[in-house]
Amino acid sequence: MSDKQQSIIGAGVPRIDGPDKLSGRANYAADNLPPNLAYGYGVFSTIASGKVSQLSVDEARKMPGVVDIFHHSHFPTLYHTPSSFAQGNKVEETRLPFEDERVYYEGQFVALVIADTFENARAAARRVKVTYSTDQAVANLDQGVEANGTQAGSGNHDRGDAASAFDSAAATIDVTYRTPVETHNPMEMHASTAWWDDEHLTIFDASQGVVVARNALSKIFAMPPERITVHAPYIGSGFGSKLWTWPHAIATAAVSRELGRPVQLVVPRQQMFTTTGHRPETRQRLRLATDGNGKLVSLRHEAINTTSYTDQYVETCGSVTKSLYRCPNLTVSHETTQVNRGTPTSMRAPGAAPGLFALESAIDEMADAAGVDPVQFRLDNYAERDESQDLDFSSNHIVEATNRAAEKFGWADRNPEIGSMRKGREIVGYGMAACNWEALKRPCDARVSIRADGTAFASCATQDIGTGTYTIVAQAVSDVTGIPIDRITVKLGDSSYPDGPVSGGSWATATTLPAIAGAARKALDEIKRYATGSNGVFAGASGDDLEVADGGLRSADGKLVSFADILEAGRYGSADGEAHTEAADSKYSYRSFGAHFVEVRWDPGISHLRVARVVSAIDVGRVINETTARNQVEGAVVMGIGMGLFEATEYDQRNARPVNNDYAEYVVPVHADQPEIDVILLDHPDLAFNEYGARGIGEIGVTGLAAAIANAVHHATGKRIRELPITLDKLMDDVPQARSA
């Protein structure tokens, strides 16, 4: 590799899929309109617990354009998937659509109207009359614990004796934090378009994992995976809500087969709050203790999250707590409680996002109790190795991240006295928090071809969910082959390509790139074989003597022949390579690190809180694409602002009905809420992890951000808000109580 070729890794290469997206050529799941397409619209439960006692379709059946109306007593037989992550056939809601008359949550599909147009389907869906026998719903975490108790979760950890160490410590805190349900709300609606040809199912689905979706559908339809193709060439983001197949996609495929025509189903925004997952509500108790030197001696992080009646989803809030700080006595436990909500699922940085709100708020509270500056307290207590696994970190630059961000932010200017810093009418608050995410790498296959026209083609059944995967794959191919980006075609999001990973867990980069590079090297080996063969342009030479240069091969004596000419000489259409790469080993603890520094402004005269400035230093190994990497952190910071200040899916505690399930009332940050965001990418390659030294960057930015805001709010106002979101009413004094009814 020449220096020039190496420089493409890390460069801010513009997204290669950008023009298609900007011009509307990128086709998303609901953009596919095959001939004779029928449209579905759901009838959704209006109770959260009970049974459908009567379902009358007579009036709806007579509406214009109606093809059929499916429900629990009129639906094709389907089969259960084992829903195994290891087997790659996971779904989150394991109950099959229309499996029985039971209702477990408001907004559950109870019928599905199919008509000739979307409008006719919707109009008829309104005419389906459903009566219920209603049970008292369990509406929130506290009600769940009261009614159902808790069930043991996974990801627990215990070392030393946290209770004894706590009891004999110099300083302690015992505090409880709460986070609400958050809903992913990707811009692209959940949607599926499915059709069958000769017993082959083709489905365009808004999916972050086409291979797992195919495998799950194979189980559900009891047919070989070879007869199913799942397409997701473009996804209007997912944030985790599109990781696994949801009931609407299964139902779309099922009724398409039943009706013998293509069917499309788009989940309305209101039901994207109910039937396509959410980040569950959590309650987290943190007990921390330090010795006389401000060193942590005991740490307990005990979390409960809500889950559905049909499935157990564990929000592993303590996943980071196990290893971020040095502490000999530590307990992490996760429990769940059943409530009448749909099944939760991973949302960007699952576990860590709510978990680090609690942990990194508690660390500040502990620092306060120990009388130490919060930055110094962290520097004094960061772990040097992963004590939970008894392993060294492969690469950990959290101290550098903290120090660099602190310096850029101007932490030294912070007057620690509460409310002491002012600008005009506003009180300034400075806060910070560590951020952390595990680095994962999954098995992966990939294929790369160098073609007769000198272009390259790469394919892998992973997805680009808006993060830039198309582009970094092209960068890796270009890096290995020297072929320029604009002569490389990348195809993703098709389950018939070589098996690639689900786009989640921040593992797509570390997983996909080594396989792509391996396949590209194999394609080069192949082209060298052609070149050195008896009729080849370098006949008789050794492949080892040929180097890749300027879109071709160059011999030791300086003779340069393009790939196109080599292939032409041998009359080969292409030189192909395939590669398989394995999951990460367990020699080290692989994690990413960082620190957020946040300035908030609180204007007490109008009770207005805003985030004014964010500086984030992020240690994710080598950065593959400076532009898309920065974009991932900036986007995550914005999402963290939403988590910190605005986002909460609210449920009526009387009946478990979601109340603000639309995009006007569920408040996320708008542009005007987004401050100056300064991202420092440390860019230290983690070569123990993979050949590129990259650890992935999608999730870490959202972790810790809400805590940094909460810590800054405390600095500004003296109020320690332990329940997200930090809305203005929580910061106001003397709020009148409701009159009694």
Partner 1 sequence: MRHFEYARADSAQQAVAAHGSDREISFLAGGTTLLDLVKLDVMQPDKIVDINGVALDEIERLDDGRLRIGAMVTNTALARDKRVVDDYAVLSQALLAGASTQLRNKATTGGNVMQRVRCPYFRDGVSDCNKREPGSGCAAIGGVNRTVHAVLGTSDACIATHPSDMCVAMAAIGATVEVQGPEGAREIDFADFHLLPGKTPAREHALEPGELITHVVLDAPLEGSRSAYLKLRDRQSYQFALASSAVIVRMDGDTIADARVAMGGVGTKPWRAPEVEAALKGRAASEQLFADAAKLAFENAIAYAHNGYKIPLGQQAIVRNLSDLTAA
CB 211 within 8 A of CB 238: no
Catalytic residue among 92, 106, 438, 699: 699
The smaller minimum CB distance to partner 1, of residues 185 and 245, is found at: 185
Q: What is the 3-state secondary structure (H, E, C) of 299-362?
A: EEEEEEEEECCCCCCCCCCCCCHHHHECCCCEEEEEEEEECCCCCCCCCCCCCHHHHHHHHHHH
Closest to partner 1 by CB, 665 or 676:
665
CB of 98 to partner 1, least distance (A): 21
Q: Taking a C-beta distance cutoff of 8 angstroms, is the pair 188, 182 a contact?
A: no
Pick between residue 106 and residue 686 the one whose CB is nearest to partner 1.
106
What values do phi and psi take at 203, rounded to 5?
A: -135, 125
Could you give the count of Cα atoms lying within 13 Å of 399 in the half-sphere of its Cβ?
Answer: 11
Bond into 233 cis (ω within 30) = no
Residue 653 Cβ vs partner 1, minimum distance, rounded to whole Å: 8
Write out the two tokens for 444.
């992966």
Q: How far is the CB of 705 from partner 1 (least distance, A)?
A: 16
Name the minimum Å distance from CB 669 to partner 1. Answer: 6
Report residue 440 as tokens: 């994962």
Q: How many whole angstroms separate alpha carbon 22 and alpha carbon 12?
A: 19
From the list 445, 440, 443, 625, the residue with the least C-alpha distance to 518 is: 445
Least CB distance to partner 1 at residue 130 (A): 11
**H or E element in which residue 381 lies:** helix 374-381
* 699 noted as active-site residue: yes
Q: What's the half-sphere exposure (Cβ side, CA atoms, 13 Å) at 134?
A: 15
Question: CB of 658: closest distance to partner 1 in angstroms?
Answer: 9
Reading phi first (left if > 0) and then psi (alpha if -120 to 50, else beta), residue 410 is in: left
Q: Confirm if 358 and 301 have CB atoms less than 8 A apart.
A: yes
Rounded CA separation 349/427 (Å)? 31
Q: How far apart are the first and last CA of the chain?
A: 76
- Helix ranges (H only) for 579-686 are 626-641
How many Cα atoms sit within 13 Å of 726 on the Cβ side?
30
Rounded to an integer, what distance in angstroms lies between the CA atom of residue 368 and that of residue 376?
A: 11
CA dist., res. 266 & res. 190, Å (int): 6
- Residues 528 and 540: their CA atoms lie apart, in Å, by 11
The CB-of-740 to partner 1 minimum distance in angstroms stands at 11
Residues 13, 18, 19, 24: what is their CA dihedral angle, to the nearest 10 degrees?
A: 180
Please identify, using beta-carbon distances, which residue of 571 and 671 lies nearer to partner 1. Answer: 671
| Per-residue CA distances from 388 to 157, 383, 385 (Å) | 7, 10, 9
User: To the nearest whole angstrom, how small is the minimum distance from the Cβ of residue 694 to partner 1?
Assistant: 34
> Distance (Å, rounded) from C-alpha 727 to C-alpha 735?
13
C-alpha to C-alpha distance for 416 and 538, rounded to whole angstroms = 71
Tell the smallest beta-carbon distance from residue 352 to partner 1 (Å).
25
735 vs 654: CA distance, rounded Å:
24
Nearer to partner 1 among residue 186 and residue 669 (C-beta)? 669
Sign of CA dihedral 628, 629, 634, 639: positive
Which residues contact residue 367 at a Cβ distance below 8 angstroms, ignoring those fewer than 6 apart? 294, 373, 374, 376, 377, 378
Spatial contact of 598 and 613, defined as CB atoms under 8 Å apart: yes
CA distance 737 to 741: 12
Q: Which is nearest to 42 in space by CA: 190, 237, 201, 186?
A: 190
How far apart CA 490 and CA 364 sit, in angstroms, is 46
- The closest of 188, 249, 189, 184 to 214, measured between CA atoms, is 249
- DSSP helix/strand/coil, 226: helix
State the Cα–Cα distance between residues 367 and 529, nearest whole angstrom.
64
Footprint of partner 1 on this chain (CB under 8 A)?
46, 64, 119, 122-123, 126, 605-608, 610, 645-646, 650-652, 654, 657, 659-660, 662, 664-665, 667-673, 727-729, 732-739, 741
Q: How far is the CB of 64 from partner 1 (least distance, A)?
A: 8
Task: Kindly report the three-state secondary structure assignment for every residue of 561-589.
Answer: EEHHHHHHHHCCCEEEEEEEECCCCCCCE
Minimum distance from CB of 369 to partner 1 (Å)?
30
Query: Residue 525 or residue 665: which is nearer to partner 1 going by CB?
Result: 665
Is the Cβ of residue 329 or residue 649 nearer to partner 1 in the bound state? 649
What is the phi/psi pair of residue 626, to 5°? -60, -40
Q: Give least dist CB 738 to partner 1, A.
A: 5
Least distance between partner 1 and beta carbon 605 (Å): 5
The catalytic residue positions are 699
